[in-house]
Chains A and B, each alone.
Chain A
Amino acid sequence: MNETIRELLGRVGGLPVPVTEIADDADLYAAGLSSFASVQVMLAIEESFDIEFPDSLLNRKSFASIKAIEETVAQIIKSREAA
């Protein structure tokens, strides 16, 4: 999952630095992720993992780092499997 997220982030995140230079727990907003780009990343992740982010997870925190995105996606997949 980490690789897919990194690939999407690199493609649509519009970051000024290569994704390979960003640590899993680094603050993506500080790295230059704009709010517009974060929405593009969300859309790409929804498409790629065939999930939908519930409104409660559509906040800055869920997308603050690569690790946070992974956890958010994992949480959605887990709750879908439980349902």
Chain B
Amino acid sequence: MSFAALATDNTLATRAQRVAAVAAEFSDTVDAEGRFPKEAVDAMKAERLLGIQVPSAHGGESASLLEIAEVCSILGQACASSAMIFAMHHIKLSSLVEHGEESQWHLGFMQEVAGRQLLLGSATTEGGIGGNLRNSICAIEIDGATCRLEKDATVISYGSQADAILITSRANADAAPSDQVMTVFRKGQYTLEQTHVWDTLGMRGTCSDGFLFKGEAPAEQVFQKPFAEIAAQSMLATCHLLWSGVWFGIATDAVSRAQSFVRAAARKSAGQVPPGALHLAEASNLLQLVKSNLLSGIRTYEDAKADGEKLSSMSFAIAMNNIKIASSQTILDIINKAMLICGIMGYKNGTPYSLGRHLRDAHSAQLMISNDRILANSSTMLLVQKPDFSLLG
């Protein structure tokens, strides 16, 4: 396709590729400086990618989870931090799309997200709960038509750059830790006092600093559905699937760099296949596993969405957990193989085969909701869940 044709091609994949080109240009700087990938996020807004999930009737494009995961992967091949920001935004947006239609305020806000391309942030982590996002210490205070919340949020990804934050808390001062609600606070309705600095091994551009969050907003901005249901019915699945989309993208780019390396070496040595070529075949095999796993997970989610009971079943939760575990572990193997292939050229920064950033970014995958916690959760459910041996689903 000619460049002019590319500029006027407005399929979702092409728009995502134009954003990826911007993200790729700044990915090394974003990583080195640990700064927000402003150029890439501005490009997402310009290509109107932040609202694609919103139904067409409400100003979006009714994009499917598969299409959104594809965008995550395309961006992940260019800049994992930008891709993760895009994924986290859409995970939050899924709460509005799947559960917001019951309230006029949330419906209006969802339309505004699509119309004005607002970036949604998330504050589910809290000091003192040990990473279990299904528990809160802080409680929202409903005072007539106003709600107030103060939360020691140890991580709010791109908190300073978000246009709104979706935040969890206990439903009231007397509620049990697991009796949670989620509330939308728009920029201007809260203050953030930085408490932790995000200086990390990888995913440096997500700027997931810690903040003391203090917000006050109209009480109608509290989601009517309990957070437990939002978590089970949309967040669990979209998290694991869209994250996996990003991770698949990182691994894809690593394999693609390794493949270029092997190809260049094979060309130079006229017909002689370099020794690393075997690893390439192995990496390609593992990459296919990650892809199949992700695709089957997306299909499982789409099927379950048609049947609400399935969405909150244990077998569905275990299936989603398994997808997260598998993709987060396997991409490390894949990138490691790519590193073996590219050798010192992969280990060094600033070469066409550099893989350091990929490897560092990929290491976050096992920790974003720790795999140990997920395995413990699945192993509890497996005490009662009955296995399904059918290939038919």
The 24 listed contacts between A and B (C-beta, < 8 Å) are: A16-B176, A29-B228, A30-B171, A30-B175, A30-B179, A32-B177, A33-B178, A34-B178, A35-B377, A35-B380, A35-B381, A36-B380, A39-B383, A42-B384, A43-B383, A43-B384, A52-B386, A55-B313, A58-B315, A58-B381, A58-B386, A60-B229, A60-B312, A61-B309
A18 an interface residue at 8 Å Cβ cutoff?
Answer: no
Partner of A35, one of B134, B177, B309: B134
User: Are B309 and A56 in contact, with the CB atoms below 8 A?
Assistant: yes
- Most A-side CB within 10 Å, residue of B171, B175, B314: B314
A42 cross-chain contacts in B, Cβ below 8 A:
384
CB-based contact A59/B313 at 8 Å: yes
B309 touches which of A39, A53, A59 (Cβ 8 Å): A59
Cβ of B143 under 8 Å from chain A: no
Cβ contact within 8 Å between B179 and A59 = no
Let me know if A46 is at the binding interface, CB within 8 A.
Answer: yes
Main secondary structure of the interface of A (DSSP, over half): loop
Count A interface residues, CB 8 Å. Answer: 22
Docked complex Cα distance between A35 and B312 (Å): 12
Q: Using a CB-CB cutoff of 8 Å, which residues 51-68 of chain A contact chain B?
A: 52-56, 58-61
Please list the residues of chain B having a beta carbon within 8 angstroms of any beta carbon in chain A: 134, 171, 175-179, 226, 228-229, 232, 309, 312-315, 377, 380-381, 383-386, 388
With CB as the reference atom, state the residue of chain A lying closest to B177. A32
3 nearest CB pairs, A to B: A32-B176, A59-B312, A30-B179
Do A56 and B179 form a contact, CB below 8 Å, given A35-B380, A39-B380, A43-B383?
Answer: no
A55 touches B385 (CB 8 A): yes
Name the distance in Å between B136's Cβ and chain A's nearest Cβ: 12
CB of A74 within 8 A of chain B?
no
Q: Given A55-B314, A58-B313, A58-B314: A30 and B226 within 8 A (CB)?
A: yes
Shortest A21–chain B CB gap in Å is 13
Chain B at the A interface: SS class: loop
* Complex contact B381–A29 (CB within 8 A): no
Q: Given the complex, which residues of B lie within 8 Å of A23, measured CB to CB? A: none
Across the interface, do A31 and B228 meet the contact criterion of CB distance under 8 Å?
no
Q: Whole-angstrom distance between the alpha carbons of A32 and B176 in the complex?
A: 5
Q: Is the CB of A39 within 8 A of B381?
A: yes
B228 touches A60 (CB 8 A): yes
Q: Give bound CA distance, A59 to B384, whole Å.
A: 11
Minimal beta-carbon separation of B228 from chain A (angstroms): 6
- In the bound complex, residues from chain A placing their C-beta under 8 Å from that of B134 are 35
Closest partner residue, chain B, to A15 (CB atom): B176
CB-CB under 8 A from B229, the residues of chain A are 60
**A39 nearest in chain B by CB position:** B380
Given A30-B226, A39-B381, A61-B309, A55 and B178 touching (CB < 8 A)? no
A47 to chain B, nearest CB (A): 11
Chain A min CB distance to B237 (Å) = 14
- Distance, CA A30 to CA B312, complexed state (A): 16
Bound CA–CA A43/B134 (angstroms): 22
The residues in A between 1 and 57 inclusive whose CB is less than 8 angstroms from any CB of B are: 16, 29-36, 39, 42-43, 46, 52-56
Chain B residues with Cβ below 8 Å from A35 are: 134, 377, 380-381
Kindly list chain A residues whose C-beta atoms are within 8 Å of the C-beta of B381.
35, 39, 58
18 further interface pairs, Cβ-Cβ under 8 Å (given A31-B176, A58-B386): A30-B176, A30-B226, A31-B179, A32-B179, A34-B178, A35-B381, A43-B384, A46-B384, A53-B386, A55-B314, A55-B386, A56-B309, A58-B313, A59-B309, A59-B314, A60-B232, A61-B309, A61-B312
